[in-house]
């Protein structure tokens, strides 16, 4: 693999639709590939550019179909490790490399779906003070979710205190935090780092407020 897996990107990706997983750039996802068409997809990717795009099935894509509806923004990932099992199945690790918007799905003889895509560049404001404030704001709402002595909190503190760009921080949080699936997809579809940071912080504040609200609510005599 080249150091930049997208340096010679053709604009065409193999699609791997899944019902309950959103991959983000800068994170690694383990996968077990067992369906014959996706075994072929994996073999072709390993022999070719090493790229597979994870696509989330749309919420209403429950009807059986050879081409169930998928979300228009996907995450292009690079196979960074793979293992072919004796029965032809694969274990692999896929590292997210870029957001991409589907332009059109392509007709081909392959058993799996492919699409032409536009890569979406991550953007962030030039205002460093704004970026710092958004980073502190995220830390304020994320860290209290974890115990003071937990290893997760220590890792997150190092993440916030480090020099990783805000966009990457947001992607790691979007992947790792137990956020609703539809929110994760909306965060993947948002190329602006400041908007992702605000959306994550707002969602966590709303979740915390709901958790503090008693149920059933107190009886009122009025």
Q: What is the DSSP string of 112-150?
A: S-EEEEEEEPPB--S-HHHHHHHHHHHHHHHGGGS-TT-
Question: Can you give the pLDDT at residue 59?
Answer: 82
Candidates 17, 94, 24; CA nearest to 58 is 17
| 213 vs 179 pLDDT, higher one | 179
- pLDDT at residue 68 is higher than 80: yes
Helix, strand, coil abundance in the chain, percent, nearest 5: 35, 25, 35
Please state whether the peptide bond connecting residue 44 to the residue before it is cis, i.e. omega within 30 degrees of 0: no
Q: Are 78 and 47 in contact (CB under 8 A)?
A: no
Q: How confident is the model at residue 71 (pLDDT cuts 50, 70, 90)?
A: very high
Question: Can you give the pLDDT at residue 62?
Answer: 56
Buried-exposed string 141-175: b where 16+ CB fall within 10 A, e elsewhere:
bbeeeeeeeeeebeebeebbeeebebbbbbbbbbb
Q: DSSP characters for 35-92?
A: SHHHHHHHHHHHHTT-EEEEEEBPTTTTS--SS--B-SEEEEEEEEEEEE-TTS-EEE
Q: Write down the pTM of the prediction.
A: 0.90
Would you identify the CATH topology of the domain 12-120?
A: 2.30.130
Q: Where exactly are the structural domains of the chain?
A: 12-120, 128-212
Q: What number is the average pLDDT over the span 128-142?
A: 96
Q: How confident is the model at residue 1 (pLDDT cuts 50, 70, 90)?
A: very low
Q: Quick: pLDDT tens for 88-125.
A: 999 999 999 999 999 999 998 999 999 999 999 999 99
96, 106, 169, 175 from 20: Cα distances, Å:
16, 24, 22, 12
Question: Can you give the pLDDT at residue 64?
Answer: 60
Q: Quick: pLDDT tens for 17-34.
A: 999 999 999 999 999 999
Residue 120: CB atoms within 10 Å: 19
| 93 vs 67 pLDDT, higher one | 93
- pLDDT at residue 166 is higher than 80: yes
Task: Give SS3 for 215.
Answer: coil
Q: How far apart are CA 58 and CA 56, in angstroms?
A: 6
């Amino acid at each position: 693999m080249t150091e930049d897996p997208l340096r010679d990107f053709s604009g065409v990706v193999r699609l791997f639709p899944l019902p309950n997983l959103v991959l983000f750039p800068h994170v690694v996802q383990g996968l077990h590939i067992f369906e014959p068409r996706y075994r072929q997809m994996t073999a072709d990717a390993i022999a070719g550019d090493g790229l597979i795009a994870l696509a989330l099935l749309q919420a209403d894509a429950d009807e059986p179909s050879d081409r169930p509806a998928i979300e228009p923004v996907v995450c292009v990932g690079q196979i960074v490790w793979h293992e072919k099992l004796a029965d032809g199945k694969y274990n692999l690790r896929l590292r997210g490399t870029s957001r991409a918007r589907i332009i059109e799905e392509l007709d081909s003889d392959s058993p799996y779906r492919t699409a032409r895509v536009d890569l979406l560049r991550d953007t962030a404001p030039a205002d460093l003070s704004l970026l710092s404030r958004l980073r502190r704001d995220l830390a304020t709402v994320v860290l209290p979710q974890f115990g003071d002595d937990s290893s997760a909190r220590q890792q997150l503190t190092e993440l916030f205190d480090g020099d990783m760009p805000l966009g990457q921080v947001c992607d790691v949080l979007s992947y790792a935090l137990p956020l609703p699936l539809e929110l994760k997809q909306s965060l993947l579809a948002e190329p602006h780092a400041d908007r992702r940071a605000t959306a994550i912080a707002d969602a966590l504040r709303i979740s915390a407020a709901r958790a503090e609200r008693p149920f059933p609510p107190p009886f009122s005599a009025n």
